[in-house]
Chains A and B, each alone.
Chain A
Amino acid sequence: MDENASARLMRRALTGAHRVGLFLAMLVICLPGIWIVLSSLRPTVEIMAKPPVWIPQQLSFDAYIAMFSGIGKGGIPVLDYFRNSLIISVTSTVIAVAIGMAGGYAFARYRFRGKSGMFLGLMLTRTVPGIALSLPLFFLYVRLGIIDTHIGMILAYVALNVPFTIWLIDGFFRQVPKDLAEAAQIDGCTRWQAFWQVEFPLARPGIASAAIFAFLTCWNEFALASQLTRSVNSKTLPVGLLDYTAEFTIDWRGMCALTVVMIIPALTLTYIVQKHLVGGLTSGAVKG
């Protein structure tokens, strides 16, 4: 066998090994998700079986039917939870992204006193675990009378997300060359027009990713929500999972079914938005 043939064989073997490795890694990553979907369709006996039953023996949609059947028939107010989650997540994401754009743009484009201190301060807020805030926030909200309200949750989530959206969007505005905004101003734009016509479209992938992250943070957040919500007025889906726990039992199948209901919108949204996450949009703007 000549040198070239053996090199070719080697390359093929490596490609094969690479693919097997990737498959195994993906399997590990996806398994919990698959397990949740499967568990939502299996009877509790099978879920709890030891050793585990890998291949489901019987599948049914009972848990989903029960979930929507109303109180007393094994149901929970899932539509209320869903509505609360949607209102709280969407509103706080929109606000956090708007503030993030304004802040990110300012940090990327302007020089002002105390800029780096302020930026560091924003980043430091990220080091505080959310759960540590839940008790102080609880007392504060009780005094303010905004416990168990949408507005209370929205405020908390905006505060949680703003440092992150500012940081992410700042990075993307930094990548948009300053010359472009200047060229736009010479072409007749006001500063405001230059932003919307040129800088915003180019930073859009960054803004979209900030929006996704902010939305998922709100959508999945449990620690704060479990303290600051009480009733169907403001309980979100993750808190709703607790409805499946009773004093002595946990309805694993129902919980998994609700989890699937939670995952589907998040997955859909991420899928829609990820098309906008194309990088390299600024290539060709400057330099030869």
Chain B
Amino acid sequence: MATVSLKQLTKRYGNMEIVHGIDLEIADREFIALVGPSGCGKSTTLRMIAGLEDISGGMIDIGGRMVNDLPPRSRNISMVFQSYALYPHMTVRENLGFSLKIAGAAKDDMDRRVAEASAILGLDELLERRPSQLSGGQRQRVAMGRAIVRDPDVFLFDEPLSNLDAKLRTQMRTEIKKLHAKVKSTVIYVTHDQVEAMTLADRIVIMRSGHIEQVGTPGEVFSRPATRFVAGFIGSPPMNLHEATVSDGSLVFSGGDSLPLPGQFKSKAAAGDKVVSGIRPDDFYPTGHGLSSGGEAEVHRVELPVSITEPLGNETLVFAEFNGTDWVSRMLNPKPLKAGDRIGMSFDLSRAHLFSAETGKSLRS
């Protein structure tokens, strides 16, 4: 088990810089998720940690040892690939034991460790099969088994669930969480799915265009997003983000509608400032159908027309028209609504966010 530390890690292909000097400290046994849209450099970062990509600058340290130029086999890591990358010409047993065979482990030791891994992941029935005879979920489990057999310092996961269907993905997510609880090792998990990151990770690293936007616990990145990008990326359905101008204690939107300036930002935004206001669907709800935040004093109520509704059973997403565009809201204990209805809507401004329109940074200090 080990800590991982990245210092000014940079990756360039020719003149194009993909990862711009990122710094990250990962604690021993921590589950870290690197999350971001396609092309943000998260997979490249993971591959640099694995040793599959050369680094162009900076330093990678695993367990107190600098590994910048070490080949993958000398880093004591294991990796689960998006494509699983099982060896098709070997049985499941041979796949699991391959790393031990290469390391020259004794037969007894090898059998014991393969049996352990197979017991943890429930692969006992499948040991003599070949990868082509397995379903997607089973292949995924074999890939994880191959990783744990090695007893590595650090586990690397490269979008391991993206090839699975939605149901299996949820199931495997739980299995990965259980697995981490069992093997208690440091995990770096790359995904573009913020739900996976939120549910699995101790801390989330949100990346964008080769930079780290924010590092924090799932709670932190959700409730205190550091930038407009993080605010829009984390949370589903996404936060309502709209540009506005601060004017005389209120936020005036481009369409002319306005909201009171939330109290916590009164000292941070001056009249005339261009800002982006953000309010989560949970904090914008049909009156009487929301969560109580305890900030009742700052709830702003208006009557708005409904454009569409998306019933989800226990809740309904209501798109209400405000300032000429649709704002998504979450209606708990839903009642039937139809397009065109005018309903009372509440903005819980105590939980609103404000970002600088220029830098995208949160105005909350």
Task: Give the interface of A toward B (CB within 8 A).
Answer: 177, 179-180, 182-190, 193, 197-198, 201-202, 281-288
Contacts and interface: CB of A to CB of B under 8 A. Distances in A.
Given A188-B103, A189-B73, A287-B163, A282 B98 contact: no
Chain A CB within 10 A, most for which of B51, B88, B146: B88
19 contacts: A177-B85, A180-B85, A182-B72, A182-B85, A183-B85, A186-B51, A186-B78, A187-B150, A188-B103, A193-B102, A197-B102, A283-B88, A283-B132, A284-B88, A284-B132, A285-B83, A285-B84, A285-B86, A286-B85
B16 to A, nearest CB: 15
A198 B83 contact: no
Nearest to B80: A183
B254 interface: no
B139 A288 contact: yes
B130 A287 contact: no
B79 interface: yes
A185 B88 contact: no
A179 B83 contact: yes
Nearest to A198: B87
Contacts of B51: 185-186
Nearest to B89: A201
Contacts of A286: 81, 83-86
Contact of A186 (B79, B86, B133, B139): B79
User: What 5 pairs across the A-B complex have the smallest Cβ distances?
Assistant: A284-B132, A288-B136, A286-B83, A284-B131, A187-B99
B52 A180 contact: no
Given A188-B103, A202-B88, 20 more contacts: A177-B85, A179-B85, A180-B87, A182-B72, A182-B79, A183-B79, A184-B87, A185-B51, A186-B50, A186-B77, A187-B78, A187-B146, A190-B73, A197-B102, A282-B88, A284-B132, A286-B83, A286-B86, A287-B163, A288-B136
Interface string B53-83: 0000000000000000001110001110101
Interface string B132-166: 11111001100000100010000000000001100
Contacts of A287: 83-84, 163
Nearest to B103: A188
Nearest to B75: A186
A177 B139 CA distance: 16
Contacts of A183: 79, 81, 85-87, 146
Given A185-B52, A186-B78, A197-B102, A284 B134 contact: yes
Contacts of A283: 88, 132
Interface in B319-340: none
Interface of B: 50-52, 71-73, 77-79, 81, 83-89, 98-99, 102-103, 130-136, 139-140, 146, 150, 163-164
A37 to B, nearest CB: 39
A197 B73 CA distance: 15
A284 B139 contact: yes
A180 B139 CA distance: 14
Contact of B102 (A177, A179, A187, A284): A187
Nearest to A182: B52
Contacts of A202: 88-89
A288 B141 CA distance: 12
A201 B102 CA distance: 16
A286 B132 CA distance: 9
A155 B52 CA distance: 39
Contact of B131 (A188, A198, A201, A285): A285
B150 to A, nearest CB: 7
A247 to B, nearest CB: 59
Contacts of A285: 83-88, 131
Contacts of B81: 179, 182-183, 286
Contacts of B135: 288
Contact of B72 (A179, A180, A186): A186
Contacts of B134: 284
A179 to B, nearest CB: 4
B130 A284 contact: yes
A248 to B, nearest CB: 60
Contacts of A282: 88
Contacts of B136: 288
A187 B98 contact: yes
Contacts of A182: 52, 72, 79, 81, 85
A185 B83 contact: no
Contacts of A281: 88-89
B102 A188 contact: yes
B90 to A, nearest CB: 9
Contacts of B88: 202, 281-285
A189 B72 CA distance: 9
Contacts of A201: 89
Contact of A284 (B50, B71, B133): B133
B62 to A, nearest CB: 13
Contacts of B139: 284, 288
A197 to B, nearest CB: 7
A284 B77 contact: no
Contacts of B86: 183, 284-286
A202 B130 CA distance: 14
A283 B81 CA distance: 16
A185 B79 CA distance: 10
A198 B102 CA distance: 12
B114 to A, nearest CB: 13
